[in-house]
Chain A
Amino acid sequence: MSADTAPRKLVLYVAGQTPKSLAAIANLQRICAEHLPGRYAVEVVDLKQQPHLAREHSIVAIPTLVRELPVPLKKIIGDLSDTHKVLVNLKVEGE
């Protein structure tokens, strides 16, 4: 499976409509639209509604973005306002 066709998935953990959660959602939408159009499936998980889902990725701080696929799993903590940091962490081996 090539790097281009490998499944890619991001999970953003937020806590309802806290300012950082809202900022993280907006920033992730912007980054995906501007830099990664169509390359990631994005899931937003509201831990206020479903706190038990924090267990899957051992989430402690919110907001946290998890790159679930491709492996290895990566976490970016914060509101994703640092676009460069986000892009560096999402960089896939071989790209």
Chain B
Amino acid sequence: MTAPSSPDASRNIAALAPGLSAEVAELRRRLDEAEDTLRAIRNGEVDALVMRDGVGEDVFTIGGDAESYRKFIEAMEPGAAAVDDAGRLLYANTALCNLIGAPLAALQGRALAECFDARAAADIAGLLAGPSNGRRSAEISLTAPPAAPASPPATDGARHFTVAAMPVRLGTVSGQAVTFTDLTERVRAEHAERAEQVAKAIIASANEAVLVCDRTGIITHANLAAAQLADGPLVGRDFDEAVPLGFPFGVGLMGGGDLLALAAAGGSIQGIEVIARAAPKVQDYLVSAAPLQIAPGQISGCVLTMVDLSARKAAEKQQLLLMRELDHRVKNTLALVLSISNRTLSIEDTLEGFQTAFTARIQALAATHTLLAQKSWSNLSLRDVLAAEIAPYADERSGRVKLVDVDVDLAPRAAIALGLIFHELATNAVKYGALSAATGQVTVQIAGRSPERDALRLVWSESGGPVVTGPRRHGFGRTVIARSLGYSPNGAADLAFPAAGVICTIDIPGEDLA
């Protein structure tokens, strides 16, 4: 059969009846349109058809009514959408429309990714453009708050979602089902848990005792250092009862409960000395209290830190002792200086003589003080004291001075007294005794225990010097020698003047020997 629409047939018809030409052209156009329609249906380019019956027209959706999948999407609790292969939004449920903050009518046909801020858009676009052979997901964060948030933002101010895409067939088109699952609550819980862990770690690692109380005064947290405040566990107990505090300096607070009340009212208290009466060991503490704010303007309790003051108290006691000791020593030294001054003045005939003798004696005193200061006023060795006083005139290397068995430690008061005695003996030896002659020698040696008292006997003996004659008068030097060790009944010094050389027998009090 020849096709009626072939060009040859049309020309033949037109030639036969020109009036039919327009009708044929119209029939041909309608045929082309019908073929075009069939081709479009066959190729899946349309998804609805207009059906006509005796009553009128009706629209029939190819591939099932879209309403079914829309109802399914709408019923989903997470935000959900259907997009075509180009990522255009075909349908979104109310949850997703709320999340985006726009009605469905304004969103349909738009690229889904473009409905979000730039960062989330890139993530969603990448997700939708990925290989469509299975479920894919990505996590996104939305910083711009939606009009009606389903949940408050996480601590970082953002809302977090898992976006999942799954290929689906929607009628005649292939597309993707996309869901937005709100993870904000989970992320917030994770942040809160991490923050809690960090807070616990901070409290636990603090050297000070740290206690957290709720608004009713019940201890909710206590670190390891707080265990020393009371016997037994602290958490769960009333603070005032578990850690009763005394206020030695009467700051007007009646008890620990008042500290808590002040802190819970938003006040902050720093560095108040308290006595933890129930603490088994250390009781002196410095307490500070501050409100516990878990959110701006929301006080849920208070945080107490208690610093162990025992070391500071001990240091204060030591300092007080040292100050008293220093006062005592300064007074003693001043009295000694005054005595030296008076006695020197009474002996010396001239001002120059006074100046020379007084200065030398003060220097002798200073030498011993220097040694004591270097040793922080602890014990000094007898050898060091001797060396310091004799050094201006001679030393062991010259062979003029011989120190035998003098490695004995002395208390400070004995060191000062012996320093003065050795100074007087040395200056006397230089002026009149063994050290005034070229061959003279001084020997200082320990001669064992004193037979008369609890003391160690030390003998200063001179030899090789000029023949000794006893002094014509009792000078200050002899007074110093005789009296310096008189602070103790076990101390004494006796000076003898045999012709061969001066001998000084010194008893160092036993209680001043280390």
User: Other than the known A18-B47, A23-B88, A51-B59, what 5 A-B pairs have Cβ atoms closer than 8 Å?
Assistant: A19-B171, A20-B173, A22-B89, A62-B46, A62-B48
Question: Which B residues form the contact surface with A (CB < 8 A)?
Answer: 33, 36-37, 40-41, 43, 45-50, 52, 56-59, 61, 66, 82, 84, 86, 88-91, 108-110, 170-173, 175
Question: Which A residues form the contact surface with B (CB < 8 A)?
Answer: 15-23, 25-26, 29, 47-48, 51-52, 54-55, 58-64, 75, 77-79
15 contacts between A and B (CB under 8 A): A15-B47, A16-B66, A19-B90, A22-B88, A25-B109, A47-B48, A51-B56, A55-B57, A58-B33, A59-B50, A61-B40, A61-B48, A62-B59, A75-B33, A77-B40
Give chain B nearest CB distance to A73 CB in angstroms.
Answer: 9
Interchain CB contact under 8 A, A20 and B109 = no
Interchain CB contact under 8 A, A79 and B59 = no
Interchain CB contact under 8 A, A20 and B47 = yes
Interchain CB contact under 8 A, A51 and B48 = no
- A55 CB contacts on chain B under 8 angstroms: 57
Give chain B nearest CB distance to A38 CB in angstroms.
Answer: 21
Interchain CB contact under 8 A, B171 and A18 = yes
Interchain CB contact under 8 A, B40 and A19 = no
Q: Name the residue of chain B whose CB is nearest to the CB of A18.
A: B47
- B59 CB contacts on chain A under 8 angstroms: 15-16, 47-48, 51, 54, 62
Interchain CB contact under 8 A, A18 and B61 = yes
Contact A60 to B49, CB < 8 A, known contacts A18-B61, A20-B173, A55-B57: yes
Interchain CB contact under 8 A, A51 and B50 = yes
Q: Name the residue of chain B whose CB is nearest to the CB of A72.
A: B29
Interchain CB contact under 8 A, A20 and B175 = no
- Tell me, in angstroms, the Cα distance from A23 to B82 when the chains sit together: 13
Q: Name the residue of chain B whose CB is nearest to the CB of A80.
A: B45
- Tell me, in angstroms, the Cα distance from A61 to B44 when the chains sit together: 11
Q: List 6 tightest A-B contacts by C-beta distance, closest first.
A: A78-B45, A15-B48, A62-B48, A51-B57, A61-B46, A77-B40
Q: Which of B48, B82, B173 neighbours the largest number of chain A CB atoms within 10 Å of its CB? A: B48
Give chain A nearest CB distance to B364 CB in angstroms.
Answer: 110
- A62 CB contacts on chain B under 8 angstroms: 46-50, 59
- Tell me, in angstroms, the Cα distance from A15 to B64 when the chains sit together: 13
Contact A26 to B88, CB < 8 A, known contacts A19-B173, A20-B45: yes
Interchain CB contact under 8 A, B46 and A78 = yes
